[in-house]
Structure 1
Amino acid sequence: MQITSVGHAGFHIRTAAGTILCDPWVNPAYFASWFPFPDNTQLNWDELGNCDFLYVSHLHRDHFDAEHLRNYVNKDATVLLPDYPVPDLRKELQKLGFSNFFETEDSVKHTVSGPGGELEVMIVALRAPADGPIGDSGLVVSDGTTTCFNMNDARPVDMDVLHEQFGHIDIHLLQYSGAIWYPMVYDIPKRTKANFGKQKRQRGMDRARSYIEQVGATWVVPSAGPPVFLDDELRYLNDDRGDEGNIFPDQKVFLEQMSIHGNPGGIMMIPGSVADVRGAELSLTHLTDPAEIYDNKAEYIERMAQRFAPKLAAEKASWARVTEDHLAGDDESLLEQLRLLFEPIMAQSDLICDGIGYPLGLVLGEETVVLDFPKRTVRAPIEGEGKYRYGFRIAPELVRTVLRDDEPDWVNTIFLSTRFQAWRVGGYNEFLYTFFKCLSDERIAYADGWFSEAHDDTASTELEGWEIQRRCPHLKADLTKFGVVEGNTLTCNLHGWQWDLESGRCKTSKGHELRSRKL
């Protein structure tokens, strides 16, 4: 098996049976905030795109690059389709011209036929509203000699199924770095923000090491991040100044973490790197010497910024600006447009709206719009209402753009761009961000139904002198594998959520109580 890194979470897997292209991403994403790092535009995309199979793990824009898929990837390729509850991924690929789909069943091994023989594949499909934009997944591929687990940035809760179906995993590709807007965009003191960032950075790497231990592969490739931020306004987000509070550590940093913790199997792969893997044997070649990138990362980023400046400017020019009709008062205000979008969604999602539980303020330039979730209405502010418990300051052109483009997911556009500011009183509210992922009838119906299902907490386990429910109240992770107890606090390393063990109260978000008692 020959595995070529094509950048970020992207890989090209060559076997005797056929080739699989996974998650190719080249064009800037999230309002041109994210660019692939290191630069992957120099690769031979005509050759890479002439694949037998295509695997797109999910619809996040750093995995689903519509422009690139349209222009470079063979439309006769067989798409290995994850088993998702809503068909958005399939629909988006069909719009681009793909028509051959192999529909997998979640966590079930399948045999697929390529031009040179057969491959065994399995896709672990994650279906919770918190998983990507309504779905994330990981791919297992075996050619009979070598088994590769491409986990990208999925967070599976059951690793036992890998070994039950495939035995030993030879090479494991996984995310280790941040891919979120927290805590950078929040209106909190600088020192507090730095401390939160330091915790977020380490928890992300701890989670990745936990997965590495559970999978037990011979070789590990840190991938799926970080991106690079080339806009002058966002350059501070790059981890190129030794900032311990930066949530975007690079491959070199994580490989050092692996070494510190006694794991010698880490492999550096950058765009164009090729790993020839035959079971436990691996040989590695690079198209570019990694030292040219990582020995002076800030200079490399500056050269990228100069090279991609025209692309960044063109992306910004495509945003929906304020129109002359609006300046003259002849078009609908953002308030009216958002009322038409949000109120029908609110009317279908009682459990999510109740879970949010308070009005939210959207400060859009000179205009403020209130999403009153308890009353299921979108309205103007009420005099004397005061500061809202949760709110966002967003440039109007970003909101106008997602409205123009009929985007069903603000998380996958505005929020991941980090081109906004936020404030909140109290903890993270999962229901709120789920709402912004589900701005379509199909998505909101699924998400509201998912939250209404009772989570199984009947099984128990013991950790550090406490009896606790075995399954995490958040997303059912097995706490025997992801749970860490420090004093009276339990942390689930899958997403970093925490509970007070004495009371069972979730310290991260509203609700999600834990059953626990001291032994």
Structure 2
Amino acid sequence: MKIEFVNHASVIFHHEDIHMICDPWLKDPVFHDGWNLIAESKFTFDDFEKINYIWFSHEHPDHFYPPNIKNIDEKYRKNITILFQETTDKKVIGFLKKLNFKEIIELKKDKWYELGKDFKILCNPFDHDSWLCVKHKDITVLNTNDCVIDTRAEAKSVHDLTGDISVLLTQFSYGQYEGNKNEPHKRKQAVEKKFKQIDTQITQFKPKYLLPMASFIYFCHEENYYMNDEINKVGNVYDYYKSKGTVEPVVLYMNESWDPSQAYTNSERSIAAWNQHYEVVRNSPKLCKTNTVALNELLATGEKFTSKFSANPKLFNRLKKAGELNIYLTDHDRTVSLSWKGLQEKENQTPADIEVSSDVLQYCTKFDWGFNTTHVNGRIQFRGTSGFSKFVKFENLSNMLNHHDEVPGLATRVVAKFKKVLSKVANR
């Protein structure tokens, strides 16, 4: 078996006549023009001719990006089987069924699937994400991508199913808003937290090799470019684990393949290639620009946002209890307020909770996933902790719309969070 690195969170597992690609985001900005690939992919849409399986971890666009999926030629789709975790909303499955792939397999929790001789996979959900375990003879590869497995208890629950790991693939840098422009210390803390998360996984999974992935992006908008100031570079990860000696780090460049039954000796060459792309991001990045939305159009979108809740009395009542979110529009130099009454203009001396452009606010109110996307892409500035908590209230409400009110109720979420905190304390 060989592992070929494609880009970001995408790798291909090659074994005899099996060619399974994971999370193929190949081009274009995602998360509302907030993220872009740090390097242009070498793998092209014509290369899907050799692919016969695609595994998607979850529906975030840097893993499951509909415009890229539609770009796969139909003559290739008819030979490709889709693998995706079993979900209740069936949104991803419903989209894929319309594209005439050969087959779609919904992977059941805790179930191993034999794809070929000496090649089987296990996919389990983790929050709204999922992880993938691939076994070939005595080689076991675990792809945790974005799964925030950061306690020994969580890691043990995975390890109990997979056994010891030969190769661990995992995210290595922060991937969401981490502090305002004047708060680089928060981004440094996020990197430190990411190292601790990886350390926890290594301690429990006991991998021989670590393959860093799912962080080859940069924040690509003029409103969030500052977020790149402390990103964890893949070379830093390599040096950290080389010196620590707990695992052998392996860094692959795009289109490079590696047989994990053999040692890999080209990591430093790969790091040098990636460093060239980091330098471009630092010195001459391609940045997306703000598109100003007219105020009357923005107010109309805000009214439609609140009308979505009226069909669900439970959610509408929660929207009322959320109060007002006061928003300073950076490109209009004025303040508006979002509440169950819709979007309303406010006196400019009204203290704002957040600062965003009109483009971002329209995206938040137009799409059920808009608030969550903004939290991820960092095209926002918060005025104090109260502003952050108010924003999160509206984010949670929008998530409930996006997932058909399947997000757990407040009591359930509080209990789950309390249990996780207790678990972290117990496992320190």
* TM-score tier after normalising by the smaller chain length: 0.7 to 0.9
1:345 maps to which residue?
309
Query: Following TM superposition, by how much is the alpha carbon of 1:436 offset from its aligned partner in structure 2, in angstroms?
Result: 3.7
The 1:304/1:52 distance shift into structure 2, 3 A limit, reads: farther
User: Separation in 2 of the partners of 1:53 and 1:67?
Assistant: 18
The alignment status of 1:301 with 2:281, answered yes or no, reads yes
Higher mean displacement: 155-164 or 7-16? 155-164
Residues 352, 431 of structure 1: 8 Å contact kept: no
2:202 maps to which residue?
212
Residues 89, 404 of structure 2: 8 Å contact kept: no
2:406 maps to which residue?
446
User: Separation in 2 of the partners of 1:24 and 1:384?
Assistant: 45
- Within a 5 Å distance, the mapping from 1:416-427 to structure 2 comes to 416-426=376-386
Residues 167, 207 of structure 2: 8 Å contact kept: yes
Query: Following TM superposition, by how much is the alpha carbon of 1:301 offset from its aligned partner in structure 2, in angstroms?
Result: 3.2
Residues 271, 287 of structure 1: 8 Å contact kept: no
The 1:413/1:165 distance shift into structure 2, 3 A limit, reads: closer
* 1:145 partner letter: D
The 1:155/1:417 distance shift into structure 2, 3 A limit, reads: closer
2:125 maps to which residue?
125
The 1:392/1:43 distance shift into structure 2, 3 A limit, reads: same
2:69 maps to which residue?
69
1:272 aligned residue (255, 261, 265):
255
2:93 maps to which residue?
90
* 1:32 partner letter: D
User: Separation in 1 of the partners of 2:249 and 2:232?
Assistant: 15
The 1:386/1:123 distance shift into structure 2, 3 A limit, reads: same
The 1:179/1:98 distance shift into structure 2, 3 A limit, reads: same
Query: Following TM superposition, by how much is the alpha carbon of 1:382 offset from its aligned partner in structure 2, in angstroms?
Result: 6.0
User: Separation in 1 of the partners of 2:247 and 2:413?
Assistant: 42
Query: Following TM superposition, by how much is the alpha carbon of 1:63 offset from its aligned partner in structure 2, in angstroms?
Result: 1.1
The alignment status of 1:479 with 2:407, answered yes or no, reads no
The alignment status of 1:371 with 2:338, answered yes or no, reads yes
The 1:109/1:444 distance shift into structure 2, 3 A limit, reads: closer
1:30 maps to which residue?
31
Residues 5, 272 of structure 1: 8 Å contact kept: yes
The 1:299/1:380 distance shift into structure 2, 3 A limit, reads: closer
**Aligned residues: CA RMSD:** 3.4
2:147 maps to which residue?
154
The 1:385/1:32 distance shift into structure 2, 3 A limit, reads: closer
User: Separation in 1 of the partners of 2:411 and 2:404?
Assistant: 12
Secondary structure of the structure 2 residue equivalent to 1:414: helix
Question: Unaligned regions of 5+ residues in structure 2, if any?
Answer: none
1:514 maps to which residue?
none
The 1:229/1:197 distance shift into structure 2, 3 A limit, reads: closer
* 1:273 partner letter: E
Residues 371, 394 of structure 2: 8 Å contact kept: no
Residues 147, 170 of structure 1: 8 Å contact kept: yes
Residues 352, 432 of structure 1: 8 Å contact kept: no
- Within a 5 Å distance, the mapping from 1:92-241 to structure 2 comes to 92-98=95-101, 100-106=103-109, 108-114=110-116, 117=117, 119-127=119-127, 135-156=128-149, 158-184=154-180, 190=182, 193-230=183-220, 234-239=224-229
- Within a 5 Å distance, the mapping from 1:30-49 to structure 2 comes to 30-37=31-38, 39-48=39-48
**Deviations, residues 46-66 of structure 1 (Å, cap 9, x unaligned):** 225632211111111111122
The 1:232/1:350 distance shift into structure 2, 3 A limit, reads: closer
Residues 60, 412 of structure 1: 8 Å contact kept: no
1:361 aligned residue (326, 330, 333):
326
The 1:436/1:46 distance shift into structure 2, 3 A limit, reads: same
1:501 maps to which residue?
none
Query: Following TM superposition, by how much is the alpha carbon of 1:255 offset from its aligned partner in structure 2, in angstroms?
Result: 2.0
Query: Following TM superposition, by how much is the alpha carbon of 1:150 offset from its aligned partner in structure 2, in angstroms?
Result: 0.7
**Deviations, residues 439-472 of structure 1 (Å, cap 9, x unaligned):** 44xx25111x44343776xxxxxxxxxxxxxx75
User: Separation in 2 of the partners of 1:284 and 1:412?
Assistant: 40
Question: Unaligned regions of 5+ residues in structure 1, if any?
Answer: 128-134, 240-245, 457-470, 485-519
Secondary structure of the structure 1 residue equivalent to 2:328: strand
Secondary structure of the structure 1 residue equivalent to 2:54: strand
Residues 274, 286 of structure 1: 8 Å contact kept: no
User: Separation in 1 of the partners of 2:217 and 2:377?
Assistant: 11
Query: Following TM superposition, by how much is the alpha carbon of 1:224 offset from its aligned partner in structure 2, in angstroms?
Result: 0.8
- Within a 5 Å distance, the mapping from 1:231-270 to structure 2 comes to 234-239=224-229, 246=230, 248-270=231-253
User: Separation in 2 of the partners of 1:454 and 1:259?
Assistant: 39
Secondary structure of the structure 2 residue equivalent to 1:338: helix
- Within a 5 Å distance, the mapping from 1:389-404 to structure 2 comes to 391-400=353-362
**Deviations, residues 24-73 of structure 1 (Å, cap 9, x unaligned):** 11222123332212x24223542256322111111111111222222137
Residues 6, 255 of structure 2: 8 Å contact kept: yes
Query: Following TM superposition, by how much is the alpha carbon of 1:409 offset from its aligned partner in structure 2, in angstroms?
Result: 0.3
Query: Following TM superposition, by how much is the alpha carbon of 1:227 offset from its aligned partner in structure 2, in angstroms?
Result: 0.9
Higher mean displacement: 412-421 or 211-220? 412-421
Residues 121, 141 of structure 1: 8 Å contact kept: yes
Q: State how many pairs are aligned.
A: 415
Percent of aligned positions with the same letter in both sequences?
A: 18
The 1:289/1:164 distance shift into structure 2, 3 A limit, reads: closer
Query: Following TM superposition, by how much is the alpha carbon of 1:176 offset from its aligned partner in structure 2, in angstroms?
Result: 1.8
The 1:320/1:359 distance shift into structure 2, 3 A limit, reads: same
Q: Give the structure-1-normalised TM-score.
A: 0.70
Secondary structure of the structure 1 residue equivalent to 2:63: coil
User: Separation in 1 of the partners of 2:383 and 2:243?
Assistant: 37
Query: Following TM superposition, by how much is the alpha carbon of 1:142 offset from its aligned partner in structure 2, in angstroms?
Result: 1.1
User: Separation in 2 of the partners of 1:439 and 1:102?
Assistant: 26
Residues 348, 444 of structure 1: 8 Å contact kept: no
Secondary structure of the structure 1 residue equivalent to 2:259: strand
Residues 320, 400 of structure 1: 8 Å contact kept: no
* 1:362 partner letter: I
Q: Give the structure-2-normalised TM-score.
A: 0.83
User: Separation in 2 of the partners of 1:446 and 1:259?
Assistant: 43
User: Separation in 1 of the partners of 2:335 and 2:263?
Assistant: 57
